[in-house]
Amino acid sequence: MPHYITNGTLIDGTGAVPTPLAWLEIDNNRITRIVARSRDEEPLPAGAADIVDASGLTVMPGLIDAHCHISYGVARAIEEQDLYGSAEYRAIRGVYHARSVLQAGVTSFSDPGGSWYVAVAVRDAIKAGLFPGPRISAAGRYLSNNVALTDYFPSWIGAPDSGVGVMARTREEMVNVVREQVKNGVDFIKVAASGENPILTPAGGSIASVPSFRAEELRVIVEEAHRLGRRVTAHARSGQSVVDCIEAGMDWIMHADCMNRQEADKLAASGIPCCPALTFMANIADWGHLAGCTQARIDRFKAYVDNAQKILSYAHEQGVTMMCGTDTGFAVTPYGEWHAREPELFVTMLGMSNLQAITCATRNAAIAVDPENVGTLETGKLADILLIDGDPCADIKVLQDKSRIRAVFLGGAPVDLTPAKESIRWPWERSLAISQTELYRQTVQQAA
């Protein structure tokens, strides 16, 4: 039976200006009619029932986070991320955290890599109706090598089976890993195309300036994945790794924050979207002390943020399609807390308008999930809808205030917004998570 949302201001996620809404019809999980407010508007169908009145509210697509690691468990240390916690525990913990992500207004997210096939398991458990949570597009472990991100430990230890990266040192191994991951149900493939950034290492090494895979190796991965009907993304910070990803035909690129202008021009010309994931590094720069970061690390990230702002604002000006993603899953980006900071950073750092940033958090971010079905409020799309008390086109930060969320609909079904009981953390889960609630309390106390 159809049900309806009436009144309010519609932001449809396409980039179109907000319009007064008369009514929106939902039937069988999808949007079937949208009628704008006008003098000669079509009235609600006779006998219409099950009506939600959104007067005074913004009606918009559910937010989409294009970069959320559900298996990480709010990790502060690499050991937490890669060693501690069984696959079974990580999957159960993942469905617990997925609920808080949904309650923050995020109706879909892309998980670009993690332990085992935890993201696949969480995705399937939610799809089966076992637990509440967003729609998930899931990758497996990162395809990596000895000079890439995820090969964190000394060579005499190696990359553990529980780690987020799987070694693919030869072309044959690259092809076989892609095939194995496809067999095990991934939606896309994630590649560690650049090494750890020097800003993340105490010694300030230079490995990030060297791509971890050659362009022809990346091409092997992309071609095999595409042959099997899967898309590919890459962690690529250095400029040369971005260029190599372009040449290999990546479907979208993560970070790209160490490019120069010539490399940014190539990215713009390629049409390949970019997910910078600014929230992770901005949170370290702004509040890293709450997560146990040293002052030296915080200072390095402040410089890193400044550099990222310069090149990514230029990339935006040149027409690179930007996608909002937060790198959620770390102590500085806990689940359900920071998903809406990325659009704010797109405004303050990249020079976007509020409406442009909203589009990046809905339609553009949907590129990493399911752009044919989510990301905009249009006839035929899934009815993933967020009702907000406030105007994000006037103040983008209202999206970060969970007290302003009046309703979340997933496929037209209302989401229970009752917070889950807070979980305990085991001794090996050592994170000091940065909570927006705690930051708010500190701000109020300081003001008093």
Provide the CATH number for the domain around residue 184: 3.20.20.140
Please report, as a single letter, which amino acid is at residue 433. Answer: A
**115 in the same domain as 29:** no
Residue 14 has pLDDT above 70, yes or no: yes
| CA–CA dist 109, 327 (Å, integer) | 11
State the average pLDDT over residues 206-228. Answer: 87
Residue 203 has pLDDT above 50, yes or no: no
Residues contacting 393, CB < 8 A, separation 6+:
11, 18, 354, 355, 358
Q: How many CB atoms lie within 10 A of CB 302?
A: 15
For residue 168, what pLDDT is reported?
93
**17 in the same domain as 166:** no
Top pLDDT among 153 and 113 is at 113
**75 in the same domain as 54:** no
Res. 435 pLDDT band, cuts 50 70 90: low
**182 in the same domain as 330:** yes
Residue 39 in domain: yes
For residue 146, what pLDDT is reported?
84
For residue 46, what pLDDT is reported?
85
How buried is residue 348: exposed, middle or buried, by Cβ count under 10 Å (0-12/13-18/19+)? middle
Model confidence pLDDT, tens digit, residues 267-290: 999 999 999 999 999 999 998 888
**299 in the same domain as 251:** yes
Stretch (H or E) spanning 31: strand 30-36
State the average pLDDT over residues 15-35. Answer: 97
State the average pLDDT over residues 350-361. Answer: 98
Question: b/e map of 322-341 (b: 16 or more CB within 10 Å)?
Answer: bbbbbbbbbbbbbbbbbbbb
Q: Per DSSP, which regions of 297-438 are E strands?
A: 385-388, 405-410, 413-414
Helices (H), 137-293: 171-183, 215-227, 239-248, 261-270, 278-287
| CA–CA dist 281, 327 (Å, integer) | 9
For residue 343, what pLDDT is reported?
98
Query: pTM for this one?
Result: 0.92
Top pLDDT among 432 and 59 is at 59
Last residue of a domain, one of 339, 368, 395: 339
Model confidence pLDDT, tens digit, residues 253-273: 999 999 999 999 999 999 999
The answer to whether residues 115 and 160 touch, using CB atoms and an 8 Å cutoff, is no
Domain count, the chain: 2
State the average pLDDT over residues 343-370. Answer: 98
The boundaries of the domain holding residue 289 are 63-339
**36 in the same domain as 144:** no
**90 in the same domain as 147:** yes
Angle between helices 118-127 and 87-103 (to 10 degrees): 50
For residue 434, what pLDDT is reported?
53
**154 in the same domain as 208:** yes
For residue 2, what pLDDT is reported?
92
Residue 241 has pLDDT above 90, yes or no: yes
Model confidence pLDDT, tens digit, residues 296-343: 889 988 988 999 999 999 999 999 999 999 999 998 999 999 999 999
For residue 84, what pLDDT is reported?
85
**404 in the same domain as 274:** no
Residue 431 in domain: no
Residue 249 has pLDDT above 70, yes or no: yes
For residue 202, what pLDDT is reported?
41
Residue 224 in domain: yes
Top pLDDT among 33 and 205 is at 33
Residue 428 in domain: no
Residue 128 in domain: yes
For residue 444, what pLDDT is reported?
47
Q: Per DSSP, which regions of 73-160 are E strands?
A: 106-111, 135-138, 142-144
Residue 416 has pLDDT above 60, yes or no: yes
Residue 441 in domain: no
Question: What are the CA-CA distances from residue 423 to residues 73, 277, 338, 348, 433 (Å)?
Answer: 11, 27, 19, 34, 13
Q: What is the CATH number of the domain that holds 395?
A: 2.30.40.10
For residue 159, what pLDDT is reported?
85
Residue 356 in domain: no
What average pLDDT does the chain have? 91
For residue 150, what pLDDT is reported?
82
For residue 204, what pLDDT is reported?
46
Residue 344 in domain: no
Question: What are the CA-CA distances from residue 340 to residues 100, 326, 328, 419 (Å)?
Answer: 13, 8, 11, 18
For residue 155, what pLDDT is reported?
84
**308 in the same domain as 183:** yes
Model confidence pLDDT, tens digit, residues 63-116: 999 999 999 998 877 788 888 889 999 999 999 999 999 999 999 999 999 999
**323 in the same domain as 184:** yes
Res. 439 pLDDT band, cuts 50 70 90: low
State the average pLDDT over residues 219-248. Answer: 96
**281 in the same domain as 257:** yes
Tell me what percent of the residues of the chain surpass a pLDDT of 70.
Answer: 93
Question: What are the CA-CA distances from residue 339 to residues 95, 134, 280, 414 (Å)?
Answer: 17, 13, 10, 20
For residue 396, what pLDDT is reported?
98
